Amino acid sequence: MALLAYSLPLVMLLSALAVRITGHRLGEAVARISVGASALALLLALALFLHQLWADQARLVDLGLAIFTLYVDWLSTLMALLVSAVGLVVHVFSVRYMQDDPAYTRFFMLLDAIIGVILVMVLAGDLLTLLLGWHLLGVCLFFLLNHETRRQSATRYAFWTLFTHRLGDLPLLAVTALAYHAFGTLSLPELFEGIAAAPQTTTLLGLPFAETAGLLILFAAFAKSAQFPLHTWLPYTMDGPTPVSALMHAGIVNSGGFLINRFAPVFVHTQDVLLLAFAVGLITTLMGSLMMLMQSDIKKALGYSTMGQMGYMVMECGLGAFSLAIYHLIAHGVFKATLFLGSGAIIGNARKDPNIPEGEIYKFMVERKVPHPPLSWVVFAGITITVPLLIVFGAHEMVDQGFLHHQGAMILLLFGWITGAQTLFFVYKIGGERPFTVLFYVILSFGLVIVTYVLVGHAFDALLYPDAEFREALYQAASVNVRWFALVLVLLIALISAGWLLVFRSAAAQEPLTRRYRGLYLNLYALLSREFYIADLYSRTGEQLLNASRRLNALLRWV
């Protein structure tokens, strides 16, 4: 077990060293070393995952030292398998994509190094090793994003990313110091056992350790996973090579969700800390989704899409659905890597053949022709509001009857309901000659997606957190006052239903809401087009700091 665990990250780090040493002699042939090492890492990760799948408990392996230990459990082996699989795909794609690049050798060296660092991070068994991987991840990403050093924008936003990631290092460094002060250990299993035995332990200044550490871990995760207001680095890093974007959106930006799950035994003993994760994740989800719709550049649109998805992942953690966040992380990572690796081909094909086959969707999106179905908008609105609600509730009740008793589950179901209703509303707006047939297939597809999502999510729940009492404790840590929760939930359902009725009535009357509330729409459009002025605020702040430093240097005659 120990040899297998240590071999996994070591293979990629040794491959990076081999590429660096032999690059000047082998040239582009170094890609064979890199791809071969990546394939071997995937096999090792698969073997480690299968070994742990049949194991009865997690294990801490070491080299006889207090540091550089690895923690082999279901979470770490699953993450290692995901990173190795995506890494192999990115390696194979890069062989031809980066061909004729003057820094071909350096690219593969950094690609091997960053995958090795990610594997160290997900397998870390002590806080120092975790901090080392967490820090080096941002450093390697900086060099990959700044691969094209001649482009000023690439250098600028790569440094912006590095600075934001350094902000995410500081809270984790503080957690390391506080943990050693409170419990006298850096080992993650020993730390979790100590918290479980004495959850009221205090640390410096008499602060409760669990609450303080939970907040610091959230801040570290917010920086790495592009949560508001530390999100600006993610959409602006599109100047890097496409393989880097795919790896970043499939594995690196997900590290925040992994970190929160790794410290799940800490969050069990917190109160109201997870509410912060829910609030920040919700804001990030809404901002990312809205700003994605404003983009004309396909890669930047994917960047804001990832921001929204990462917000949803953090929000799931804030609701106590930790294992569901890991499932979301994996599904989104594979999906988004595929989109990024295919984005270049889509752009190339569109330039060669911009013709779009005409159809009902084409007429709706381009020609703005809306042939409404021969069905009353009241009936269609009723179907849109009730059917998705019945599907999401029925699917969860069928798989896990106790799931609906959790407050976090109810919020997740609310989002599922909104998604399904949005899909059915789009069917109504498109219209067409056979709206009932389209409606039937959409409802059937939505039902299959929800059922699959629930089944797989429940399987992840049992895999990552087999202790039912521990899962229940996570949901309880994320819960709020029952009366206030019920009141807010009823009000949200009523407001959303009223909103859908208003939208349907407006669509049926062929009077868009954007025309009725034109002033509000234009102001919102201007706000979104400027991305809430957050990037402008950071740029202005940076300029002011530089000007102040220049004046200080001149005053003190340092320069």
pLDDT for 40: 93
- Alpha-carbon gap, residue 323 to 327, rounded angstroms: 6
Is a pLDDT exceeding 80 seen at residue 358? no
More confident residue, 136 or 201: 136
More confident residue, 485 or 190: 190
Given pLDDT bands bounded at 50, 70 and 90, which one contains residue 350?
A: low
Is a pLDDT exceeding 50 seen at residue 60? yes
List the domain boundaries for the chain: 1-125, 127-354, 368-511, 517-559
- Alpha-carbon gap, residue 313 to 484, rounded angstroms: 24
Tokens of 144: 């990959």
Average pLDDT over every residue of 341-354: 65
Residue type, 328: H
Average pLDDT over every residue of 473-485: 75
Given pLDDT bands bounded at 50, 70 and 90, which one contains residue 131?
A: very high
Average pLDDT over every residue of 524-538: 77
Average pLDDT over every residue of 539-547: 83
- Alpha-carbon gap, residue 9 to 128, rounded angstroms: 16
Is a pLDDT exceeding 80 seen at residue 515? no
What is the torsional sign of CA 433, 437, 438, 439? positive
Average pLDDT over every residue of 342-347: 68
Residue type, 45: A
Least confident of 301-305, 354-358, 514-518, 526-530: 354-358
- Tell me 98's DSSP state: T
Average pLDDT over every residue of 128-150: 87
| pLDDT digits 0-9 by tens, 376-385 | 666 777 777 7
- Alpha-carbon gap, residue 134 to 225, rounded angstroms: 12
Q: Which helix (H) or strand (E) holds 47?
A: helix 30-53
Tokens of 413: 């179901």
- Alpha-carbon gap, residue 151 to 446, rounded angstroms: 44
Phi (first) and psi of residue 137, to 5 degrees: -60, -45
- Alpha-carbon gap, residue 530 to 552, rounded angstroms: 32
- Alpha-carbon gap, residue 166 to 482, rounded angstroms: 39
Residue type, 432: G
| pLDDT digits 0-9 by tens, 393-422 | 777 666 666 655 666 666 767 777 777 776
Is a pLDDT exceeding 50 seen at residue 365? no
- Alpha-carbon gap, residue 282 to 272, rounded angstroms: 16
What are the residue ranges of helices labelled H in 404-533?
407-430, 435-464, 468-477, 482-508, 513-516, 518-529
pLDDT for 103: 81
Is a pLDDT exceeding 50 seen at residue 163? yes
- β-bridge partners, 70: 61, 124
Contacts of 307 (CB under 8 A, 6+ apart): 226, 231, 234, 235, 284, 287, 288, 291, 292
Average pLDDT over every residue of 353-379: 54
Residues 166, 169, 170, 174, Cα dihedral to 10°: -170
Average pLDDT over every residue of 304-314: 85
- Residue 493 burial (10 A CB sphere; 0-12, 13-18, 19+): middle
Least confident of 30-44, 170-184, 238-252, 351-365: 351-365
Is a pLDDT exceeding 80 seen at residue 430? no
CA distances from 31 to 20, 104, 204, 462 (A): 11, 9, 50, 39
- Alpha-carbon gap, residue 63 to 473, rounded angstroms: 34
Given pLDDT bands bounded at 50, 70 and 90, which one contains residue 1?
A: low
| pLDDT digits 0-9 by tens, 496-514 | 777 767 766 666 666 665 5
pTM, to two decimals: 0.84
- Alpha-carbon gap, residue 275 to 69, rounded angstroms: 32
Is a pLDDT exceeding 70 seen at residue 196? yes
According to DSSP, the β-strands at 70-72 and 59-61 are antiparallel
Calculate Rg over the CA atoms of the chain: 25
Given pLDDT bands bounded at 50, 70 and 90, which one contains residue 336?
A: confident
Given pLDDT bands bounded at 50, 70 and 90, which one contains residue 43?
A: very high
Instruction: Tokens 């602060």: give the residue.
Output: 207
- β-bridge partners, 208: 202
The per-residue pLDDT of the chain, averaged, comes to 80
CB 447 within 8 A of CB 391: yes
Average pLDDT over every residue of 522-529: 75
CA atoms in the 13 A half-sphere facing the CB of 144: 28
CB 419 within 8 A of CB 500: no
CB 422 within 8 A of CB 388: no
Least confident of 83-92, 111-120, 143-152, 409-418: 409-418
User: Strand, coil or helix: what is 432?
Assistant: coil
Contacts of 348 (CB under 8 A, 6+ apart): none
Q: CA 113: distance to chain centroid?
A: 22
Per-residue 3-state assignment (H helix, E strand, C coil) for 506-549: HHHCCCCHHHHCHHHHHHHHHHHHCHHHHHHHHHHHHHHHHHHH
198 — alpha (psi -120 to 50), left (phi > 0) or beta? beta
CA distances from 14 to 87, 114, 154, 187 (A): 15, 12, 28, 26
If one counts every other C-beta atom within 10 angstroms of the C-beta of residue 472, the result is 16
- Residue 107 burial (10 A CB sphere; 0-12, 13-18, 19+): buried
If one counts every other C-beta atom within 10 angstroms of the C-beta of residue 247, the result is 31
pLDDT for 352: 62
